Amino acid sequence: MAMIRALGLGKTFRVADKQPGLAGTLRHFVQRRHRDVPAVRDVSFSVEPGEVVGFLGPNGAGKTTTLKMLTGLIHPSSGSVEVAGFRPQRRQVDFLRRITLVMGNKQQLIWDLPPLDSLRVNAAVYGIDDAEAQRRIRDLAEMLELGEELRRPVRKLSLGQRMKAELLAALLHRPSVLFLDEPTLGLDVNAQARVRSFLAEYNRRYGATLLLTSHYMADITALCPRVLLIHQGSLMHDGSLAELTNRLAPCREVRLELREPLPASTFAAYGTLEDLQGRAVRLLVRRERLTASVARLLAELPVVDLEVAEPPIEELIGQLFRREPAR
């Protein structure tokens, strides 16, 4: 049975339609006008238990809105959603015990106290007895490489240490579904890697299902065999990252260095000529013909050096979003 199932999920917000300036403010005050803005439309997908799924999309694409519908924080305007067999918007206790939400830009730890104090509160919230809580804290702290930091006031921790403590607090009740909204936001490269390997380990050890959004493509490539790409509220891709790359970029770039310059017409038989600078050539070759073309290039032309480049996924997604500018 699927752990997460969204069917035709949609969310429309009513926003005030106000002209700028004092006159606009007054007019709005007298005669309020609203506009319906669809934030998410007709999104369907399902996630199996134990899957790690990356949620991609530019700012304002509807990622957070979708996450909030999946956790029950906002009610869908249309469609239905089911998580661990529950309807999230009813926020039943048994549902809340199975999930967690981690937000990279918001924190639940008590600012003036060491994380351990917040953890004690959370243990009581979830009805975990002290011995069991101690054991879980020890296990998770070890996985997160947290030690003395748990006894220092949160306000004195670095961003990376704080995020790790946040993760500990969010996972003390051992949820089976994790929703992570930008869990590595603002962290340095090392801390990002630590959080990443922790999430992978948590998934492996407890068989938990993870759905995470991130701006850092490294998070997605390292953690998520499957990605959902959402753009302007609609789901544009559901599959592996490699499939997404192929869909967005059906061609590979072949860079050649020749022994001597050749006329441009020579290259038409191998691919599309992108650039020709004396002995340096750049060709675009369709993926399915790549092997054959490379073999022929090496056999038929005086090649000194040959390199095949995969276009970086960030750039491809960036191009996609630029092609269809947000409203």
Partner 1 sequence: MGGPRGAARLLLRFWSASLAAEMEYGVNAAVELLSVLGNLAGSLFVLSLFFRHGHDLGGWSWDQALVVLGIYTLLDGLTSTLLQPNLGALVTHVQKGTLDFVLLKPVDSQFWLSLRIVSPWGLPGVAVGLVLMAVGVVRAGTPPSLPGLALALVVLVAASLLLYSLWFVLAATSIWFVKVWNATEVLRATLVAGRYPISAYPAGLRVLFTFVLPVAFLTTVPAETLLGKASAPAVLAGLLVAGLALGASRLFWIFALRFYTSASS
User: Which residues bind to partner 1, rule: CB under 8 A?
Assistant: 13-14, 39, 64-65, 68, 71-75, 89, 91, 93, 96-97, 99-101, 103, 106-108, 110-113, 117-118, 120-121, 123-127, 153
* Contacts (Cβ under 8 Å, ≥6 apart) of 219: 54, 183, 184, 192, 196, 212
Q: Report the Cα 42 to chain-centroid distance in Å.
A: 19
Nearer to partner 1 by Cβ, of 15 and 242: the residue is 15
Nearer to partner 1 by Cβ, of 130 and 201: the residue is 130
Show the tokens assigned to 81.
């959603």
For residue 203, give the nearest of 225, 182, 176, 164 by alpha carbon: 176
Least distance (Å) from partner 1 to the CB of residue 231? 17
For the chain, the three-class secondary structure string (H helix, E strand, C coil) is CCCEEEEEEEEEEEEECCCCHHHHHHHHHHCCCEEEEEEEEEEEEEECCCCEEEEECCCCCCHHHHHHHHHCCCCCCEEEEEECCECHHHCCHHHHCCEEEEECCCCCCCCCCCHHHHHHHHHHHCCCCHHHHHHHHHHHHHHHCCCHHHHCCHHHCCHHHHHHHHHHHHHCCCCCEEEEECCCCCCCHHHHHHHHHHHHHHHHHHCCEEEEECCCHHHHHHHCCEEEEEECCEEEEEEEHHHHHHHHCCEEEEEEEECCCCCHHHHHHCCEEEEEECCEEEEEEEHHHHHHHHHHHHHHCCEEEEEEECCCHHHHHHHHHHHCCCC
Say if residues 219 and 55 touch (Cβ distance below 8 Å).
no
Least distance (Å) from partner 1 to the CB of residue 4? 16
Least distance (Å) from partner 1 to the CB of residue 268? 52
Nearer to partner 1 by Cβ, of 97 and 279: the residue is 97
Least distance (Å) from partner 1 to the CB of residue 126? 7
Least distance (Å) from partner 1 to the CB of residue 118? 7
Least distance (Å) from partner 1 to the CB of residue 324? 21
Nearer to partner 1 by Cβ, of 177 and 285: the residue is 177
Nearer to partner 1 by Cβ, of 169 and 227: the residue is 169
Nearer to partner 1 by Cβ, of 66 and 293: the residue is 66
Least distance (Å) from partner 1 to the CB of residue 161? 19
Nearer to partner 1 by Cβ, of 118 and 214: the residue is 118
Least distance (Å) from partner 1 to the CB of residue 112? 4
Nearer to partner 1 by Cβ, of 72 and 271: the residue is 72
Show the tokens assigned to 235.
């789901």
